[in-house]
Amino acid sequence: MMTDELAENLSKELRHLVLLLRRAAAGQPITSQQYAVLGSLQDGPRRMTELAEEHGVQLPTMTVQINRLEEPGLVARGADPADARVRTVELTDEGRARLVAVRRARIAYLSDRLGALTQAEREAVAAALPALAKLGRP
């Protein structure tokens, strides 16, 4: 297999990316997961099932996540008028503000880190992003 060597190298580097992610999230008022969930809500209300699927977790996990975002008022639960079993979730104004602030901080951090690369390295990262995105969602 031609891809085996690449797979091996990719496997080694995934750990570094986890560390990068940890550092990018450090010191922020919400966790990386909470940020991701808020991001899913920015274009309007979603149902629990959708959110769970989108984030690759089971429903109970999403219930817990949403509980923890609801408690400080970052999201609000609603109901689907067409189906009383369904709970919808949407951003509050405060949640939206938080999302924007955290996004800004994250981008600033990554931008700073990217600044430590050479121009060629940045271009290589940019060129690989679509493929990495594709890898992540089977």
Residues in touch with its own copies (CB under 8 A): 1, 3-4, 6-11, 13-24, 36, 56, 103, 106-108, 110-111, 113-117, 121-122, 124-138
Range in contact with DNA (rule: CB under 7 A) among 1-9, 32-40, 97-105, 114-122: 32-40
The two tokens of residue 41 are 């809500």
Return the number of the residue (103 or 118) whose C-beta is nearest DNA.
103
CA distance 7 to 44: 38
Instruction: Specify the residue for token string 């609000």.
Output: 76
C-alpha Rg value of the chain to the nearest Å: 18
Return the number of the residue (61 or 92) whose C-beta is nearest DNA.
61
Range in contact with DNA (rule: CB under 7 A) among 62-70, 99-107, 110-118, 129-137: 62-70
Which of DNA, its own copies, none does residue 110 bind (CB under 5 to 8 Å by kind)?
its own copies
Q: Restricting to residues 87-116, which ones interact with DNA according to CB under 7 A? A: 87-88
| Minimum separation from the CB atom of position 100 to DNA (A) | 19
Contact with DNA (CB under 7 A): which of 66, 74, 99, 102? 66
Residues that bind DNA (CB under 7 A): 31-34, 47-49, 55-68, 77, 80, 83-88
